[in-house]
């Protein structure tokens, strides 16, 4: 399922007009205030991040449309940002995100072994979510920790020099 055909019902049967709560709008406004009024669209990335976090880790088309309307920008411009950056998910995800860096440095440092381990032990392919909904496993293009490969980001927390044993402990400690 892509954002183009995500049914609104998937996001808890809420009224489209109330997708951006007053609290979310206030948080977005803090980012908008960092830019000149005519550049408020520059807050699109923090706005999408806030909305995604509020929505259980993913962005529906309706939410992206609301962000576009709130920032007074074309919907397609918001879709372009959300589809370009790997940090945004356009389908429902697990309660936790495990992102393994797949850059050359991390692959040379053991990322492939780590990814195979996660696939086998947790029965989830990259881009998938475990049957129990606990975690979504993603390959991520460069986490910027080449010196300490392989790098993994779990729920926005970076882990470096990760081994299969270390990732098991990290995942076991979730929830």
What the block records as the tokens of 147 is 């010196």
Let me know the angle formed at the C-alpha of 25 by 95 and 90, rounded to the nearest 5 degrees: 40
Which residue from 16, 27, 30 is spatially nearest to 69, judged by alpha carbons?
Answer: 16
What integer pLDDT is reported at residue 2 of this predicted model?
44
Q: Is 146 annotated as a binding residue?
A: yes
Q: Is 161 annotated as a binding residue?
A: no
pLDDT tens for 25-51 read 999 999 999 999 999 999 999 999 999
What the block records as the tokens of 121 is 């032990």
Cβ atoms of 107 and 66 within 8 Å: the answer is no
Domains of the chain are: 3-84 (1.10.10), 96-172 (3.40.30.10)
CA distances, 149 to each of 1, 25, 145, 173 (Å): 33, 38, 6, 22
pLDDT at 123 over 50: yes
pLDDT at 4 over 50: no
pTM above 0.75, yes or no: yes
* Average pLDDT along the chain: 90
What integer pLDDT is reported at residue 175 of this predicted model?
79
Q: Is 142 annotated as a binding residue?
A: yes
């Amino acid at each position: 399922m892509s954002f183009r055909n995500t049914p609104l019902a998937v996001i808890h049967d809420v009224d489209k007009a109330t997708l951006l709560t007053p609290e979310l709008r206030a948080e977005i406004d803090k980012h908008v205030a960092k830019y000149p009024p005519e550049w408020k669209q520059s807050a699109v990335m923090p706005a999408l991040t806030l909305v995604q976090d509020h929505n259980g880790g993913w962005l529906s088309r309706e939410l992206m449309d609301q962000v576009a309307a709130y920032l007074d920008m074309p919907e397609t411009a918001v879709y372009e940002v959300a589809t370009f950056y790997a940090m945004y998910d356009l389908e429902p995800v697990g309660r936790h995100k495990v992102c393994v860096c797949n850059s050359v440095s991390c692959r040379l440092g053991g990322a492939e072994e780590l990814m195979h381990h996660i696939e086998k032990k947790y029965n989830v392919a990259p881009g998938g979510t475990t049957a129990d909904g606990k975690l979504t496993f993603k390959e991520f293009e460069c986490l910027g920790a080449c010196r300490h490969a392989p790098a993994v980001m779990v729920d926005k927390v970076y882990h470096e020099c990760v081994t299969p044993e270390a990732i098991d402990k990290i995942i076991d400690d979730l929830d």
